[in-house]
Chain A
Amino acid sequence: MPERSDGVSISVTVNGRRHQAEIEARLLLVDFIRENLNLTGTHIGCDTSFCGACTVLLNGSSVKSCTVLAVHAAGGEVTTVEGLAKDGELHPIQQAFKDHYALQCGYCTPGLLMSTCHLLARNPNPTEKDIRKAIAGNCCRCTGYQNIYDAIADAAARVSAARAAGTHGGRAAASAEAR
Chain B
Amino acid sequence: MHPGPFRYHRAASLEEAAVMLQQLGEDARPLAGGQSLVPLMKLRLAGPTDLVDLAFVPGLSYVRHEDDGGEIRFGALTRHAEIADSGAAARFPILHDCAAGIGDVQVRNRGTIGGSVAEADPSGDWAPVLLTHVTEIRCVGPGGERTVALRDFILDAYTTALGPGELVREIVMRAPPHEDGERIGGAYIAAKRCAQVYATASAAVRLTLAGDVCRDVAIYLGAVALTPVEVTAAAEALRGRALTRETIEAAADAARSGGDPQPDMRGSAEYKCALATALVKRAIEIAARRARGEQVEVSHEYA
A residues apposed to B, CB below 8 Å = 1-6, 8, 24-28, 31, 47-50, 52, 55, 61-64, 67-69, 71-72, 74, 115, 118-119, 133-134, 136-138
User: By the criterion CB–CB under 8 Å, are A47 and B42 in contact?
Assistant: yes
Q: Which 9 A-B pairs have the closest CB atoms?
A: A137-B104, A25-B8, A136-B195, A61-B109, A5-B5, A26-B3, A6-B8, A64-B106, A137-B106
Residues of A within 8 A of B109 (CB): 61-63, 118
Residues of A within 8 A of B7 (CB): 2, 5-6, 25
Taking each of A8, A63, A64, which has the highest tally of chain B beta carbons within 10 Å of its own beta carbon?
A64
Known: A49-B38, A61-B109. 20 other contacts (CB 8 A): A1-B6, A1-B49, A26-B2, A27-B2, A31-B2, A47-B1, A47-B42, A52-B104, A52-B106, A63-B106, A63-B109, A64-B110, A67-B39, A68-B34, A69-B3, A69-B38, A71-B8, A71-B10, A115-B105, A133-B299
Partner among B6, B47, B53, B103 whose Cβ is within 8 Å of the Cβ of A137 = B103
Partner among A25, A64, A138 whose Cβ is within 8 Å of the Cβ of B51 = A25
What size tier do the contact residues of chain B reach? 35 or more
Partner among A24, A31, A47, A64 whose Cβ is within 8 Å of the Cβ of B107 = A64
- Label chain B's interface by main secondary structure: loop
Asked whether B147 is an interface residue with its Cβ less than 8 Å from the other chain, the reply is: no
Residues of B within 8 A of A50 (CB): 196
Cα separation A130 to B43 with both chains bound (whole Å) = 33
Residues of B within 8 A of A6 (CB): 6-8
User: By the criterion CB–CB under 8 Å, are B35 and A67 in contact?
Assistant: yes
B residues apposed to A, CB below 8 Å = 1-8, 10, 31, 34-35, 38-39, 41-43, 47, 49, 51, 53, 55-56, 81, 103-107, 109-110, 194-196, 299
Residues of B within 8 A of A28 (CB): 2-3, 38, 42
Asked, given contacts A115-B105, A137-B103, A137-B104, whether A49 binds B196 with beta carbons under 8 Å apart, the answer is yes
